[in-house]
Amino acid sequence: MNDSTVASHDLADAIAGWLRDRMRDAGAERLVVGLSGGIDSAVVCGLCCRAAGPTSVVAAIMPAQSIPQDAADAELVAATFGVEPVRVDLTPVVAAFLAAMPPAPAPAAGNEQAARMALANVKPRLRMTTLYYLANQCNGLVVGTGNKTEARLGYFTKYGDGGVDLLPIVDLYKREVRALARGLGVPQAIIDKAPSAGLWPGQTDEGELGATYDALDAVLAALEAGQPYGDPALRAEATRRERASAHKRGPIPAFRRTPAGANG
């Protein structure tokens, strides 16, 4: 066993212990996670099983006009960790939701990009609703799958995949998630798979972000350390995304009345 493997096991044990503590604090009996067929949810599923055991993990596979291979990959992850998955087909739910919606108001009418993103965000928000329904049924906590790279860039849907109770890998950059995946025994096919939220056919995370995760991780780590590292254009774009998405990470702004006489 090499040093990196030992480090991965130590990190996995630390996160699993943290998850157990959160379950105890909340009096929860289950950990609920959505399985997308990607590496992040696979790692989180493995960590949840390490923390609570497979029988205490509710792993939901929730296709919503999705690529069939993603569901097959999610099944592979569930089988790898000995979890019996819950399957919820949200495809007809998406169709019913869209059928109930009025036409887009001006100036959004005719804006294909806006329409595509509006639809893309519906899916993770319906999945969030599904996960909380399952969690409410079994006294569970919803465990998020967001990593540090995505969190800092705001690459998640507010009140969608960002709507969770716990974030066990949010302090891990994507490269660290890959290393942890190997230590946990995530299938190699899942580790090697191009990261994608499955928002539309051919969509990939790196295609949308405009850079590889390795490049983004390096730039974000340098920014965090205050070091002038990386391509200036990529640094500028990462900084722009981080600032523009601050509202996703912070508390909801709330108006507070000034007490009478407080201003003199």
153-168: average pLDDT? 97
pLDDT digits (tens, 9 = 90+) for 17-40: 999 999 999 999 999 999 999 999
CA nearest to 58, candidates 71, 50, 49: 49
CA nearest to 129, candidates 84, 97, 96, 159: 159
**Arch. (CATH architecture) of 3-210:** 3-Layer(aba) Sandwich (3.40)
pLDDT at residue 25, rounded to an integer: 98
Strands (E), the chain: 30-34, 57-61, 86-87, 140-142
pLDDT digits (tens, 9 = 90+) for 170-229: 999 999 999 999 999 999 999 999 887 766 667 788 888 989 999 999 999 999 999 987
Q: Which of 29-38, 77-86, 106-115 has the lowest mean pLDDT?
A: 106-115
User: What CA–CA distance (Å, rounded) separates 119 from 245?
Assistant: 19
Residues in CB range of 88: below 8 A, 6 or more apart:
60, 61, 62, 130
Six-digit token string for 229: 């590292």
pLDDT at residue 144, rounded to an integer: 98
pLDDT, mean over the chain: 92
Six-digit token string for 133: 């329904």
CA nearest to 92, candidates 123, 61, 64: 64
Q: Which of 6-20, 61-75, 198-212, 243-257 has the lowest mean pLDDT?
A: 198-212
Q: List the chain domain ranges.
A: 3-210
